[in-house]
């Protein structure tokens, strides 16, 4: 009873809280990093160097009036942010933060596919949010979102297949273990796949330069134009939770998860003194930083160019990568 119910529930509770707190601080990090990139200071008023802004923001969002447009579809309008956030949180149940079962809630044998399929449910939040608002800009945005997410999901999934070919397992723990045994992060084995997954991940999380569904300057905020207060903040949470998920996936797939760099090189064994979960979280935040950095640097793609990039560039490269991986796998 203890092992099958209480411990997992405790883990889930800790994990959920940790993710939500991480998200609020991620928002602060984004504001700070972008501010530094733009030679500003960012939030400075709440707490020392604005650190407590991470707490002030959610409080503000919760206290704000939560408006439902008069002609919106009320049930769907309420359901949409929930459908957006829940999948993003569910994914964390299979993310291994360290080698022991203590560090993850579960390790299922189709872990990677589970991550992909559950995140693919998240698109409903965006589509339904845009539709239920009964407003033109959100509708346009949700059309963009559905097309974009489906297209890039194909590219990302196909790319991940080539990684699976190298590991022979879909379990996330197994993938990391395979990198430990190989002594090499898959970033060096599958560099093309890394780029594809990262670009696709940017697109799937609606981050710049692919933030078309919420392009403020075109669609006035996109699918969440009509949202306010808590429901808006759920969308917000979902976006940032998804960023963490994508970063975690990239780290697990390509950067050895909780492993220290070059785990088999004896000269670098002192790196193993750092706890595994710190490596893992550190790498995740490194990628989150890259996400933010890109947002501060690049302009936004146009809708047709985005689709062109997905279908005419990423998917062919993904297929090519898959074919090459397969041939090498058989040949070697």
Partner 1 sequence: MAEAIVFWTLAVLILGLGIMVISARSAVHSVLFLVVNFLLVAVLYVMLNAEFVAVIQVLVYAGGIVVLYLFVVMLVSLKKAPERYADPRRVAWTGTLLAGAVLLEVVAIVVASSGGGEPAATEGALGAADTPFAECGAGPLVSCNTEQLGWVLYTSYLIPFEVASMLLLVAMIGAIVLAKRHL
Partner 2 sequence: MTLEAPRTSATQFDTDELVINMGPQHPSTHGVLRVVLKLDGERVIDADCVIGYIHRGIEKLSENRDWTQIILLTDRMDYVAAATNNLGYCQTVEKLMQIEVPRRARYIRTVLAELQRIASHCLWLGTHAMDIGAMTVLLYAFREREFVLDLFEEFCGARLTYNAMRIGGLPLDIPPGWDRKVLSFCDLMEGKLNDYETLLTNNRIWLKRTRGVGVIGGDEAIGLGLCGPPLRGSGVPRDVRKDEPYAAYDELEFNVPLGTRGDTYDRYLIRMDEFRESIRLIRQAVEGIPEGPIMGKVPRLIKPPAGETYHAIESPKGELGYFIVSDGKSTNPYRFRVRPPSFCNLQGLKRLVTGHLVADVVALIGTIDIVLGEVDR
Residue 264 partner contact from partner 1, partner 2, none using kind-dependent CB cut-offs of 5 to 8 Å: none
Interface map 103-142 toward partner 1 (x if CB under 8 A): -----xxx--xx-xxx-xx-xx--xx--xx------x--x
Cα 256 to Cα 279: distance, rounded to the nearest angstrom: 9
Bond from prior residue into 209 cis (ω within 30 degrees of 0):
yes
Q: Residue 189 in contact with residue 332, Cβ under 8 Å?
A: no
Cα 48 to Cα 227: distance, rounded to the nearest angstrom: 31
Kindly tell me which of 139 and 251 has the beta carbon lying closer to partner 1: 139
Cα 195 to Cα 184: distance, rounded to the nearest angstrom: 17
What stretches of the chain adopt beta strand conformation (E)?
none
Provide the sign of the torsion angle of the four alpha carbons 18, 20, 25, 29, taken in this order: positive
Which residues ranging from 52 to 91 are in contact with partner 1 (CB under 8 A)?
A: 73, 75-76, 79
Minimum Å gap between C-beta 58 and partner 1 is 28
Cα 35 to Cα 275: distance, rounded to the nearest angstrom: 31
Cα 168 to Cα 166: distance, rounded to the nearest angstrom: 6
Cα 201 to Cα 245: distance, rounded to the nearest angstrom: 9
Minimum Å gap between C-beta 63 and partner 1 is 30
Rule CB under 8 A: choose which of 68, 78, 106, 157 binds partner 1.
Answer: 157
Rule CB under 8 A: choose which of 95, 149, 252, 292 binds partner 1.
Answer: 149
Residue 147 partner contact from partner 2, partner 1, none using kind-dependent CB cut-offs of 5 to 8 Å: partner 1
Counting runs of H as helices and runs of E as strands, what totals does the chain give?
Answer: 14, 0
Minimum Å gap between C-beta 280 and partner 2 is 30
Residue 211 to residues 108, 109, 156, 195: CA-CA distances in angstroms? 32, 33, 17, 18
Minimum Å gap between C-beta 304 and partner 2 is 6
Q: Residue 94 in contact with residue 176, Cβ under 8 Å?
A: no
Kindly tell me which of 12 and 79 has the beta carbon lying closer to partner 1: 79
Minimum Å gap between C-beta 34 and partner 2 is 8
Residue 4 partner contact from partner 1, partner 2, none using kind-dependent CB cut-offs of 5 to 8 Å: none
Minimum Å gap between C-beta 197 and partner 2 is 20
Among residues 281, 210, 244, which one has the least CA distance to residue 30? 244
Kindly tell me which of 146 and 228 has the beta carbon lying closer to partner 1: 146
Kindly tell me which of 79 and 192 has the beta carbon lying closer to partner 1: 79
Kindly tell me which of 42 and 130 has the beta carbon lying closer to partner 1: 130
Give residues in contact with partner 2 (CB under 8 A): 34, 37-40, 136-137, 140, 144, 208-209, 211-212, 215-220, 296-305
Q: How many CA atoms does the CB half-sphere of 128 hold within 13 Å? A: 19
Interface residues with partner 1 (CB under 8 A) are 73, 75-76, 79, 108-110, 113-114, 116-118, 120-121, 123-124, 127-128, 131-132, 139, 142-143, 146-147, 149-150, 153, 157, 170
């Amino acid at each position: 009873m203890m092992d099958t119910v209480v411990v997992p529930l405790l883990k889930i509770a800790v994990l959920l809280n940790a993710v939500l707190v991480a998200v609020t601080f991620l928002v602060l990090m984004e504001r700070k990093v972008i501010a530094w990139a733009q030679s500003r200071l960012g939030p400075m008023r709440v707490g020392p160097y604005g650190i407590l802004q991470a707490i002030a923001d959610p409080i503000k969002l919760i206290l704000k009036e939560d408006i439902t447009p008069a002609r919106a579809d009320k049930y769907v309008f309420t359901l949409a942010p929930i459908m957006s956030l829940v999948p993003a949180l569910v994914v964390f149940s299979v993310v291994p933060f360290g080698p022991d079962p203590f560090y993850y809630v579960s390790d299922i044998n189709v872990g990677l596919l589970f991550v992909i399929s559950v995140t693919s449910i998240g698109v409903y939040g965006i589509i339904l949010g845009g539709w239920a608002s009964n407003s033109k800009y959100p509708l346009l945005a949700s059309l963009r979102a559905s097309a974009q997410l489906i297209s890039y999901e194909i590219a990302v999934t196909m790319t991940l297949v080539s990684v699976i070919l190298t590991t022979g397992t879909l379990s996330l723990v197994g993938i990391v273990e395979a990198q430990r045994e190989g002594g090499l992060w898959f970033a060096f084995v599958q560099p093309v796949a890394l780029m594809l997954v990262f670009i696709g991940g940017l697109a799937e999380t609606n981050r710049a330069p692919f933030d078309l569904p919420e392009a403020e300057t075109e669609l006035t905020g996109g699918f969440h134009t009509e949202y306010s207060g808590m429901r808006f903040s759920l969308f917000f949470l979902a976006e940032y939770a998804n960023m963490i998920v994508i970063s975690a996936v990239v780290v697990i797939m390509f950067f050895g998860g909780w492993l220290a760099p070059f785990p088999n090189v004896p000269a670098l064994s002192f790196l193993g003194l750092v706890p595994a979960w710190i490596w893992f979280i550190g790498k995740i935040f490194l990628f989150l930083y890259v996400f933010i950095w890109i947002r501060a640097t690049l302009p936004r793609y146009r809708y047709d160019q985005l689709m062109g990039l997905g279908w005419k560039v990423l998917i062919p490269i993904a297929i090519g990568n898959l074919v090459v991986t397969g041939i090498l796998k058989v040949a070697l």
